[in-house]
Structure 1
Amino acid sequence: MAAQAETLYQTRVADAWVDYNGHMNDAEYARVFSLAVEALMDRIGLDAAGRREHGYTLYTLETHLCYCREAHRGEPLRVALSLLDSDAKRLHVFFTLHDAAGNTLATSEQMLMGIDVASGRPAGFPEAVAAAIALLPRAGDDWPSAAGRRIAIRRG
């Protein structure tokens, strides 16, 4: 993980998230990262009030989730954010899910698109949102090693 990442969201493994294998179900990792996107939206001024005020929201265009370690019932979880890239209407973000000891449990690389709610079409970030985005922790040239990966069966 890039040194510039910082904690964005914290929670615990809920009882309902634990599956028949005795650890957090794979779908629940996606839930935690989705909640981290909501925390990001709050951070950049797109909480419920900001979405109403600006008539603007974020959609997830793509996500790449990598599972690294198991999480267990009641275990504290922390999600760190690093902004890999952005333009006038998109955010390329990298989330890292950690346990209490700082071990990486999972990562999620995502492309988020700014959307004008009235038209349902992509649109540039409102000025106040763009200013808040400028303050997000950036990876710079120090991208996490899991960023930009592709799924493949490695041969030879």
Structure 2
Amino acid sequence: MTDAATQTPGPVRDPEPGTGPLPLFEQTVRPEWIDYNGHMSEAFYVLVFGHATDEMMNAVGLGPAYRERSGCSLYTVEAHVRYLDEVAEGTPLTVRTRVLGVDGKKLRFAHEMSAEDRTVATSELFALHVGAAGSTPFPPEVRDRLAGLVEEPPAWAGRAIAPVPAPA
């Protein structure tokens, strides 16, 4: 496990993309992530999900060396986060990432954050593969790797925020 807040940059190289499922991302809740209610602040759920996205990118061939060489990356254009349970300082977190769909330059994926065998948050994201000139198709080897990872969406994916009526 690496901690981006304390990690020293090394040479830019990517791990060899694997052929198995995406790796789990693990992180422990840090003291500075605790809010005025005594639990992990909502911004840090998103930070942990962001680190899990980085791990997914590394696993499919979109890591630092790819970004440096190609000038391309993922750009999140939509995200839906559900905060399901409180998390205390020192709690070990595990994030499972699922690829839900890939087409051309588009990627839909989801993260499920667990603590002590309970789901504490989910995040569903829609991202574009982008370069200096705007959005661009994934390289064939990355597209094929992502396509091979596509899973059925979990029951919670695809939801919208429930409407709240305006006062009469």
TM-score in terms of structure 2 length = 0.80
Superposition RMSD on alpha carbons, in Å? 1.8
* Structure 1 residue 108: Cα displacement: 0.2
AA in 1 matched with 2:118: N
AA in 2 matched with 1:150: A
Which structure has the higher relative contact order (CA within 8 Å, separation 6+)?
Answer: 1
- The match for 2:137 is 124
Q: Does 1:29 align with 2:41?
A: no
* Conservation of the 8 A alpha-carbon contact between 1:79 and 1:95: yes
AA in 1 matched with 2:84: C
Q: 1:153 to 1:134 in 2, by over 3 A?
A: closer
Q: Does 1:84 align with 2:100?
A: yes
Q: Which runs of 5+ in 2 are unaligned?
A: 1-20
Q: Percent identity?
A: 36
Higher Cα radius of gyration: 2
- The match for 2:130 is 115
Deviations 1:49-82 (A, max 9, x none): 1112222110000000001111110111011111
- The match for 1:47 is 63
Distance in 2 between residues matched to 1:14 and 1:112, nearest whole Å: 28
Alignment match of 1:144 (pick from 154, 159, 165): 154
Q: Does 1:62 align with 2:78?
A: yes
* Conservation of the 8 A alpha-carbon contact between 1:8 and 1:79: yes
Count of residue pairs the alignment pairs up = 145
TM-score in terms of structure 1 length = 0.85
* Conservation of the 8 A alpha-carbon contact between 1:54 and 1:126: no
* Structure 1 residue 7: Cα displacement: 4.6
* Structure 1 residue 35: Cα displacement: 1.0
Q: Which moved more, 1:47-56 or 1:19-28?
A: 47-56
Q: Which runs of 5+ in 1 are unaligned?
A: none
* Structure 1 residue 146: Cα displacement: 1.2
